[in-house]
Amino acid sequence: MGIRGINYDVGTVTGPFHSRPVFDDGETRRDLAVIRDELHCDAVRVSGTDRDRLLAATEMALELGLEVWLSPHLHDADGAGTLANARALAAAAQELDPGRIVFLAGCELTLFMRGILKGDTLFERLRPQQMLRMRLLGAHNRPLNAFLGRLSREVRDVFGGRVSYASAPIERVDWAPFDVVCVDTYRGRRNRTDFGERFRRHLAHGKPVVATEVGCCTYRGAELKGGLAWAIVDRDDRDRLAGAFVRDEELQAAEVMDLLRILDAEGAAGAFVFTFGAPALPHRADPARDLDMASYAVVRTYDDGHWEPKRLFHALAARNAPA
């Protein structure tokens, strides 16, 4: 089974959207204890934008005995800002417990960072024409790998633990500077029949391969949209969904459990389910305003801030439970 992990987002800022507007130390510590004691995870990918939040959650997770994969998400920053932020966070992580921290120096930077693709925002870089050019030409890979070489050197200058990078499937990463091969991998219409085969190719690098994201949103049809299934929120009215969707927690659970089974069979060194909670996407009785359908979370959060387990939570807990 390898690493039994889950993502914990301390708050990621993408344009006007903030995935966790309020960060509470007590609630975070309780969530991390649930991850350890009820989901039976042995590792947590702590991701987000704010450096203080990232370090606070990392310290809590370490105190609980969890291995931490520390993952800064400075969306829409340029290369210089990304380098400076990663170096500062890595230096702070060195003062904690670098033997139990894996530093993910970046995440899908072709899409999330300014400078490799045209566009100042994520949505501009995700334009269909640009995505098609990436698939056909792959011209983004050379500047990406040049940047990743600089990024790994900056991090290793100040951090003595393991270092890696959370890659998008469309990125062809030179893994020589990194200790672990990491890929954020989802299944959709394009890779429905060869998901395992595509993952297996990463084993050729001769390093441990970890799925740093694997998940599914909570509505019928999400299993065909993979990593873009979140894009059903109305961009003009972010309190509503852009269409009629049918909530389906059973589908979410079945899809993620099947993906984890395939990853195990293909020899993955572990996987991080995406994600624990999504406070900015609350569950509501009105289907048109049930933003949780657009989330990959294993718990459904309500407008008052409390959460309840979804079907996927229970399925994941059963999978991870000690024999």
Mean pLDDT calculated for residue range 110-119: 93
Rounded-to-integer distance, Cα 244 and Cα 312, Å = 23
CATH code where residue 287 lies: 3.20.20.80
Range of the domain at 263: 3-320
Q: How far is CA 203 from CA 106, 135, 182, 199, in A?
A: 21, 21, 11, 8
Which residues are 309's β-sheet partners? 299
Which pLDDT value is given to residue 74? 95
Q: Which of 70-79, 124-133, 218-227 has the lowest mean pLDDT?
A: 124-133
Query: Mean per-residue pLDDT for 89-95?
Result: 98
Confidence of residue 323 (pLDDT cuts 50, 70, 90): low
The answer to whether residues 68 and 61 touch, using CB atoms and an 8 Å cutoff, is: yes
Q: Could you read off the pLDDT of 54-79 as tens digits, one per residue?
A: 999 999 999 999 999 999 999 999 99
Q: What share of the chain is helix, strand, coil (3-state, %, to 5)?
A: 40, 20, 40
Give CA–CA dist 72/51, Å, rounded.
Answer: 8
| Angle at CA of residue 102, ends 254 and 277, nearest 5° | 40
pLDDT tens, residue by residue, 277-304: 999 999 999 999 999 999 999 999 999 9
Count the domains in the chain: 1
Angstrom CA distances, 101 to 159, 214, 262, stand at 10, 20, 26
Task: State the Cα–Cα distance between residues 305 and 323, nearest whole angstrom.
Answer: 34
- Locate 129 and state its tokens: 């024409």
Q: What tens digit of pLDDT does each residue of 165-210 get?
A: 999 999 999 999 999 999 999 999 999 999 999 999 999 999 999 9
* Predicted TM-score (pTM) above 0.75: yes
Q: Answer whether residue 53 shows pLDDT above 90.
A: yes
pLDDT tens digits along 136-156: 788 899 999 999 999 999 999
For a pLDDT cut of 70, what percent of the chain falls above it? Answer: 100
